[in-house]
Structure 1
Amino acid sequence: MNWAEAGFELFGVHVLWTDLVGNIAALATVLLAIRKSIWTWPVQLTGSVLLLIASISAHITGNALKQVMFGVLAVYGWWKWARGTQGGQELAVRPATGRERLGLVAAMIAGTAVVGVLFYLFKLSWAANTPGIEGYALVAADAYIFVGSAVATWAQGRALVDFWIIWVAVDLVGVPLAFSSGLVVSGAVYGIFFVLVLIGFANWLKEYRSRALLVPKEAV
């Protein structure tokens, strides 16, 4: 067994260290994002690399591609937040404009349709071999989670308060999908993410409103 497959047995299941530490890093990423820490991005990048290794080891191509996407977006977000905190200034968060929100929704809809077709045709989704309508629905849900995660991370990089709402929309599908598929641990992790996302949204929105009251004429 090589280092990428190293792990331990838990209730008769082999748990990869890369998978465990990668998911811990993913949870840490959300906690750091709530605090607007620049460490959000290097931790996310590290988690993405570990989960990429775990996915390749488990031969889960679709999830491996998702981790590559998260890694690229982590570099983008790191760069954007570094620029936004130059000179020691605090990262300024803001709601998306009407045009930006329209773009986010359009990206979610169009992206889910395109990625769903690709996932099904190239068997990149874990549900691609499920027959009938159920298979189509599961692949669509998988594509929705994939695209929603990408859109949310991009919006996070731009310090948009709305990115938390996108994560809520993703988790509303991800939590029941995981439990209905028998992935209890994944469902529990999604549930933890859901609670943290609600806390993050409340914190960012409160901060934006406080700043808007202090500087009412500030351009956002």
Structure 2
Amino acid sequence: MNWLNSEAFTLLGQRIIWSDMIGNIFGLAALALGWRRSVWTWPVQFLAGLVLFTAFYGHLAGSAGKQVVVVLVALYGWWQWQRGKDRTTDGHIAVRFATWRERGAMIAAAAAGTVAVALLFKAFPSLSWDPWPDAYIFVGTVVAMYAQARGMVEFWFAWLLVDLVGVPLNFANGYAFSGFVYVIYGALVLWGMRDWWLRSRTAPALEGAHA
């Protein structure tokens, strides 16, 4: 499997690695499926996490750890969406806005988690070259995927905040394909956010049941 971390080609002077490219293609597919509220977003996300773990392992501990979280939360999301209690009449998952209590809890968890993980990385420098942004990406991904698994529209906002740090970090550490593909991610996130936002407004009864 060493070929996964070998160079595939060069794009605009940037070295493109096989694992970085393949993992992000899976990631794009998973995001598109998430936009469509298809339960298949989770097994595809699971595969993306496995491949990207091989890309980051040994270089960016936070990004590699993020992929472990992606794999675990993908299993949780698959289980959560398969339960079917939050499905709409078209067979897809129902979406909603988080309550203010849920938002507060996620923000607090993201802040405390980022500090804790960054301090861990600083205590063990071999784990990360960039402790604070790496910790931010790691924890932000956990929060975003949890919100997605719960069908919260805020999932899209969380991904945008993660991407604002993740894109420059990927370019700076030689993962150019990740940087390039996140431009496409940005467009999908904005479209997906709009779609989930509108759909959440069409089911006030369901939202009230979750409040």
Matched residue SS, 2:39? coil
TM (normalized to structure 2)? 0.84
Q: Work out whether 1:166 is the aligned partner of 2:150.
A: no
Map 1:64-79 to 2 at 5 A: 64-79=64-79
Asked if structure 1 preserves the Cα contact closer than 8 Å seen for 2:15 and 2:174, the reply is: no
Q: Deviations over 1:88-138 (max 9, x none)?
A: 7431111111111110000110001001111122122232xxxxxxxxxxx
Q: Which residue of 2 aligns with 1:126?
A: 129
Q: How does 1:61-210 map to 2 (within 5 A)?
A: 61-84=61-84, 85=87, 89-123=91-125, 124-127=127-130, 139-178=131-170, 184-210=176-202
Rg larger in structure: 1
Please give the alpha-carbon distance, in whole angstroms, between the structure 2 residues aligned to 1:60 and 1:180: 11
| Between 8-17 and 66-75, the greater mean CA deviation after superposition | 8-17
User: What RMSD, in angstroms, separates the aligned Cα atoms of the two structures?
Assistant: 2.8
Q: When the two structures are superposed, what TM-score results if normalisation uses the length of structure 1?
A: 0.81
Cα deviation for residue 52 of structure 1 reads 1.6
Q: Identity rate of aligned residues, in percent?
A: 46
- Equivalent position of 1:24 in the other structure: 25
8 A contact 2:16–2:175 mirrored in 1: no
Measure how far apart 1:171 and its partner are.
2.0
Q: Does structure 2 conserve the Cα–Cα contact (< 8 Å) formed by 1:92 and 1:159?
A: yes
1:33 counterpart residue number:
34
Gaps of 5+ in 1: 128-138
Q: Please state if 1:211 is matched with 2:203.
A: yes
Pair 1:216–1:55, CA change in 2 (3 A): closer
Q: For 1:181 and 1:67, how far apart are their aligned partners in 2?
A: 17
Greater relative contact order, per chain length (Cα 8 Å cut-off, separation 6+)? 2
Residue segments in structure 2 that go unaligned for 5+ positions in a row = none
Deviates more, 1:174-183 or 1:142-151: 174-183
C-alpha separation in 2, matches of 1:6 and 1:208: 44
Paired with 1:87 and 1:209, the residues of 2 have a C-alpha distance of 15
The size of the alignment, in residue pairs, is 206
Quote the offset at 1:36 in angstroms.
Answer: 0.4
Distance 1:18 1:184, change over 3 A: closer
